[in-house]
Chains A and B, each alone.
Chain A
Amino acid sequence: MLSARNIHKSYQDRVILNGVDVDIAPGQISCVIGPSGTGKTTLLRVLCQLEKEDAGEILVDGEQNTAPWPKVTAVFQSLFLWPHLTLRENIMLPARNHNPQADKDIEGLIKLFEMNHFIDHYPNQSSIGQRQRVALARALILNPKYVLLDEITSALDVEQTARILTKLTHLKERGIGVFLITHHLGFAKRAADQIIFMSDGKVTEQGPPAILQTPTTERLKQFMSLAEIGA
């Protein structure tokens, strides 16, 4: 279990996270939804310990593990592929440290994400959808236990998004805990084991996908009705 306990985080005087508790279970998909600016990305950064919480604690399988990478790893919205390495090298450079079967596994990932025809290009020669798959592959080849994903499909079209999100359900079978910040409520309803609704630096409502149909808080009701219009 990757757990956040009563996390508080401020930038200067602005409170961004105000007492957040979440649990990410291995083999489950936890979808985080909520309006922008409510601290979802900040929570992700604290969860993978890129950012130090002001108060509270992060527990990785019950332990306060100070550098949990790549057991806990993340893929960000802007992907952060290294521009001077080919896509294949982007995947293989960290993989060689952590996966003795990296050479074999990358072939499996190339098949899974259909990367055969562009894997030896440089990041700036590839489309955003291609880079997306590479960033995900770079994280997965490390055999992480928890993968934190921040709106990784926001720059993709409907078809590409569906393709990526479908792949995420495979991760459950591998026992990986997925923390997915997304605004694809349809996917959250169908595939999530847990929904975490955040607003104003807090987890306002949390539970099975059913809470999206029958929200108990006003804030989630309002969010869902606006989301219907947007969808």
Chain B
Amino acid sequence: MTVWDILSNYYPAFLTGLSVTLKLCLIIWGSGLLIGSALALAGIKCPRSVGLPSRGFSFFLGGVPLIVFLFWLHYPVQAMFDVVIDPFYTAAFTLSVVNLFAVADIVRGALHDFPKQYLIAARVTGLTRGQTIFKIQLPLILREILPPLLLLQVAMLHTSLFASLISVEEIFRVAQRINAQIYRPVEIYTALGVFFLAVCLPINGFALWLKSRFTRNLSEQ
């Protein structure tokens, strides 16, 4: 049985798995990027009430393996409150939390280290507030955070496979189930690997290209 045979026999299952993975990632990426950026901005505006606690929590998260966090929210927490939550949402929530704090760290760093002299130049040359934000701050900060954010989102896509461990029917779990039926690990996992390479490498490559392109324009002599 070749890879093509497997795909042509089982493609409906693969497509379903893929769509679950995609949905999961859209939630993780969307909420992580939006809430994470908002959290970073709020943290800069209110360093005491938002910035410090969120940095503290981010530091704490960095000490907990993702799987432990995922399982903890899946079993003990739900048992404690006597609720049963669809594992898809548990996974989406857990990974979104991890992503949003990682995003917040990146955005906060860029905001915090933003060179003040560019704002001083904007003031003494009489730029408006809107121009300062949209023509100076935003473009410079985007150039700095876009590459690491892209790399992080690819890493989150990889991490989303952990959802299979709490029985979310995403692409990895589908692959495992099909493998259990036909026992073709070499073909199945190679196909899966090639698929992820095809999706992730272009994004990573794009991130590296952006980084080299922008640092060429921004680096001091």
Contacts and interface: CB of A to CB of B under 8 A. Distances in A.
B135 A93 contact: yes
B135 to A, nearest CB: 6
**A interface SS class:** loop
B56 interface: no
**B interface SS class:** helix
Contacts of A97: 126-128, 131
Contacts of A98: 126
A83 B215 CA distance: 10
Nearest to A135: B121
B140 A70 contact: no
Given A83-B140, A84-B139, A84-B140, A139 B125 contact: yes
Contact of A69 (B117, B126, B214, B217): B126
Interface string A122-147: 10100010000000001100100000
B108 to A, nearest CB: 21
Given A78-B117, A93-B131, A93-B135, A83 B218 contact: yes
Interface in A131-167: 138-139, 142
Contacts of A80: 117-118, 120-121
A74 B131 CA distance: 19
A75 to B, nearest CB: 8
A69 B218 contact: no
A82 B128 CA distance: 15
Given A70-B126, A83-B140, A84-B140, 14 more contacts: A69-B124, A69-B126, A70-B124, A78-B117, A80-B121, A82-B118, A83-B217, A83-B218, A84-B139, A93-B135, A94-B125, A97-B128, A122-B217, A124-B217
Nearest to B121: A80
A70 B125 contact: yes
Interface of A: 48, 50, 69-70, 72-74, 76, 78, 80-84, 93-94, 97-98, 122, 124, 128, 138-139, 142
B194 interface: no
A124 B120 CA distance: 19
B201 to A, nearest CB: 28
B75 to A, nearest CB: 49
B129 to A, nearest CB: 11
A102 to B, nearest CB: 12
B165 interface: no
Contact of B219 (A70, A76, A124): A124
20 contacts: A48-B124, A50-B120, A69-B125, A70-B125, A72-B124, A73-B124, A76-B117, A80-B117, A82-B118, A82-B136, A84-B218, A93-B127, A94-B125, A94-B127, A97-B126, A97-B127, A98-B126, A124-B216, A138-B125, A142-B125
B220 interface: yes
Give 7 nearest A-B pairs by CB, closest first: A94-B125, A70-B126, A80-B121, A80-B117, A69-B126, A83-B218, A74-B124
